[in-house]
Structure 1
Amino acid sequence: MTKIITNASKLFFKSMFLLLIALFSAQSAMAALKVRIKDITHFSGLIDNPVVGYGLVVGLAGTGDSNRAKQTVQSVANMLKAFNINVPVDDLNTRNVAAVMLTASLSPYAYEGDKIDVQVSSLGDARSLVGGTLLIAPMKAADNQTYVIAQGAVSVGGYKYDMFGNVVQKNHPTVGLVSNGGIVEKTLDNHLLGIKDGALQLVLNRADFTTASRIADKINSNFGIEIAKARSPAVISIIAPTGNNLIDFISIIERLNITPDDQPVVVVNERTGTIVTGGDVVLDSVSISQGDLQINIQTDYSASQPWLVRQTGDDVKTVVLPHTKIHASEDNASLVSLQSGATIADLISALAKVKASTRDVISVLEALKRSGALHAELIVQ
């Protein structure tokens, strides 16, 4: 009797343990559906700005631009003139110098004196930028004003050496990085507040009517007053209450959690056979028949040479005769049936059981989309 009670107790506690795990998993799944407003939006006016420049990388071990790169030769001559050194262009050898383009992204929060990374890309016919040093070069934005001054050692992370037609190369040696090589000289003029009504413009990273409405409702319910209004599926206009610190006000909004209502997407790359899908993509009831038809065509050639066996006339010649054999075979079609509400993972698992290839799965997804059984946006790359 005691043994029976003990076994029943163990079974009870085991069942309760599994139930608690299931409840915890369900709660975790519900929590995972909510995201911070900060993760799916950004405020208008605060954007990164690209800056670009032209410069020279010196100190290369004979891997720089040749004299055919006229811009490099002219740039070296102009640089030497700045130091009161006049050398004819025809007398310059630039194999240790490379002309480069400089690119960087200037953060809206960058201030004078901040340092940023600068990417260096060869402009001429240099073979490698390994060991080079970027000379001081201005970097400008679209308004043609200088915002960054760049200079420093170039880090490539690769190499290329060649001798007598033999080449050893690692990675891409004509593009490098000057870490913290750009010094911000001028701050960008960013406007966080709207120009017309003085309101904050909260922009969704992925436009959606329902998500925009939910964000506006969440902000209004949190502050208890109507301060947010969805102007479009991508923009929510927010008027900050008077007397509030703007930074604290924005921080509160960014930490609010909502459930976005984005349309499910299935991304298919036919070149690589890659399929990426979210877990919320569902299918209608569907039956899929997948078969395999193989056709084998084989042709053999033989020569008819009648003059070897008997006397023939002048018009009788050797003829090559083809003999073609055609064989067709078709395997029995594999049938896959899925109930309404099945996910893409269920579909792929079922197709894998009938040994369907990735290409077959992609063709099935395209057919499901055309039939209306796939309730998601299908993006074929």
Structure 2
Amino acid sequence: MTFFSCRPDTERRKVFHLLSFLFLAGFLLIQSFAAHAALVRIKDIADFEGVRTNQLIGYGLVVGLHGTGDKLTNVLFTRETLISMLNRLGVNIRDREIQLQTHDVAAVMVTADLPPFSHGGGRIDVTVSATGDATDLTGGTLLVTPLMAADGEIYAVAQGSLATNAFSARGAAASIVHNIPTNGHIANGAVVEREVPVDLANRKQMHLSLRNPDFTTAGRIAQAINGSLGSNIARVMDPRTIALDLTLRDSIPALSRIGDLMVEPDTLAKVIVDDASGTIVIGNDVRISTVAIAQGNLTIQVTETPMVSQPGPMSNGTTTVVPRTSINVNNGNNAKLGILRNGPALSDLVSGLNAMGVGPRDMISILQAIKADGALQADLEVR
């Protein structure tokens, strides 16, 4: 009897301990996830000195267009470029009185980004943009175009068929254009001819450059590097630059390890406003003091509803149009004075503004007024 009377209590104790364990494990998992949610890799927020892309540019011709190219009588540089290219290919038309009338050729500018550590024979993407009065580059082929860097040296050569991801249709009374048909793209359209040497293996003194300068973030990065690779390796020089001393270490493995270290970047309290589009971006650390806000607008609506007056039967009168105007004025008397209380978090600030029922345009004016009052504890950037 004693054994059977204790068994239910034992089972209940086991279930209770199991549930407690699961609850504690779930709580610790949530806390761990929240603690690491804001961590990012160093290589995602900083760049190593000397590891950068290089911009390339070139001028060329696109052929094979279906009557949508440059008008050679209007765009003289396209005509001269075409004649020069034909001369180099053995077709001499410069000394002859020939009037070129083709509309299937367009002069273009070709741009590309040369990634770091690119080697000869590798391929990169290029962007092709019309420079004359061409209306559509769809279906065209870019002829051999050398791509130069700022030093005047040729680093790649581009050629290939364009893809514009656009279309245009035109009729007698209407036309439609989707995307930009005068701007095209060639995937792997350029071959790298010259390399930009970057010797990291033999470099023992390097700099790490933050994309968003901040003393707190730079300090955290230096602390993470020194804690992982040893003390006195990283030293903060300014909010953007961290000096690395790799004298006693192999550079490549050390840089790879540094790039994968996790840190929590700090951000400035900032509000960015785009007045043209009505876009508002509010940072997570933005704080606002308690203020009272009243937002009211004066709206005047004028409506024209003209009436037609017909003469009476068997009369000599004429039909006339009688103007009829209706004016409605709303001076915003329904606007109320609302209190926007001190928000400890971004969600409270947004909830407070939304609770007042203001739209993005009105919110821009409110934020500017709050900043002028000194209650907005953040930088306000209006674009």
Specify the TM-score bucket, using the shorter chain as the normaliser.
0.7 to 0.9
- Say which of 74, 78, 81 aligns to 2:80: 74
Is 2:135 the partner of 1:110? Answer: no
Match of 2:44 in 1: 39
Normalising by structure 1, report the TM-score.
0.81
- Say which of 156, 168, 171 aligns to 2:164: 156
Which whole-Å CA distance do the structure 2 matches of 1:40 and 1:177 have between them?
29
Is 2:185 the partner of 1:182? Answer: no
Give % identity. 36
- Say which of 336, 354, 359 aligns to 1:333: 336
Is 2:295 the partner of 1:287? Answer: no
Secondary structure at 2:59 match in 1: strand
Q: How many positions carry a matched residue from both structures? A: 354
Match of 2:131 in 1: 123
Is 2:212 the partner of 1:209? Answer: no
Displacement of 1:120: 0.6
- Say which of 173, 181, 186 aligns to 2:181: 173
Which whole-Å CA distance do the structure 2 matches of 1:296 and 1:159 have between them?
42
- Say which of 25, 32, 39 aligns to 1:27: 32
C-alpha spacing 1:368/1:16, structure 2 compared with 1 (3 Å): farther
Match of 2:323 in 1: none
Displacement of 1:194: 10
Please identify, of 155-164 and 20-29, the stretch whose mean Cα deviation from structure 2 is larger: 20-29
Measured on the aligned residues, the alpha-carbon RMSD in Å equals 3.5
Which whole-Å CA distance do the structure 2 matches of 1:295 and 1:164 have between them?
41
Match of 1:357 in 2: 359
Displacement of 1:161: 4.0
Which whole-Å CA distance do the structure 2 matches of 1:13 and 1:125 have between them?
76
- Say which of 43, 48, 51 aligns to 2:53: 48
Which whole-Å CA distance do the structure 2 matches of 1:95 and 1:297 have between them?
51
Given that 1:65 and 1:96 are in contact with CA atoms closer than 8 Å, whether structure 2 keeps it comes out as yes
Which whole-Å CA distance do the structure 2 matches of 1:218 and 1:91 have between them?
70
Please identify, of 179-188 and 326-335, the stretch whose mean Cα deviation from structure 2 is larger: 326-335
Displacement of 1:122: 0.7
Which whole-Å CA distance do the structure 2 matches of 1:327 and 1:150 have between them?
62
| Letter matched to residue 375 of structure 2 | A
Normalising by structure 2, report the TM-score.
0.81
C-alpha spacing 1:31/1:169, structure 2 compared with 1 (3 Å): same
Please identify, of 223-232 and 348-357, the stretch whose mean Cα deviation from structure 2 is larger: 348-357
Which whole-Å CA distance do the structure 1 matches of 2:329 and 2:134 have between them?
57
Secondary structure at 2:79 match in 1: helix
For structure 2, the residue ranges without an aligned partner over 5 or more in a row are 1-10, 303-326
| Pairing 1:253-264 to 2, within 5 Å after superposition | 253-264=258-269
